[in-house]
Amino acid sequence: MVFTNAIFLWNAVDLKAHVREIHLTVRKTKVPDHDTMGSTGEKYVVVLQAYDLEVIFRQDYAAAAVEKTLAADHLAGTARAFEIRPDAGVVSATNPKYTGTAFIEEYGPINGAFGEVLGARATFTPSIAGITRAEA
């Protein structure tokens, strides 16, 4: 699969036309469970689900584009719903969607070097536990 048509919605605003990269890592946090008599090695119990989400955009200051959509939420610390899909097509077993609610922890509204297309970078942090994966 070539990653050329992903979707990223923030608060139902479709920003896919501005997305350059999406980095989603879903992980489980754990606690040790090897402190009893007879334990001969480390073992852990899964406690919580967490994720890291970073999106890199081509910056755009127009209405309903990157800056207008993200900057106010970042400054206010407002949590919003998001959706990510590897392809803008119909949600399916081969095109799952990931949804969650997060706030923008970091927002870099001006990223780039001389002669490059201006970019923006945002890092999202969960405000409601976990992320949901759906195939339909």
Q: What tokens does 123 get?
A: 């890092």
How far is 41 from 15, CA to CA, in rounded Å? 48
Which one of 2.60.120, 2.30.110, 1.10.3470, 3.40.1130 gives the CATH number of domain 7-134?
2.30.110
Q: What tokens does 73 get?
A: 């939420």
Q: Which of 64, 61, 60, 55 lies closest to 7 in space, CA to CA?
A: 55
How far is 25 from 10, CA to CA, in rounded Å? 18
Q: What are 65-123's pLDDT values in tens digits?
A: 999 999 999 999 999 999 999 999 999 999 999 999 999 999 999 999 999 999 999 99
Give the pTM: 0.88
How far is 53 from 4, CA to CA, in rounded Å? 18
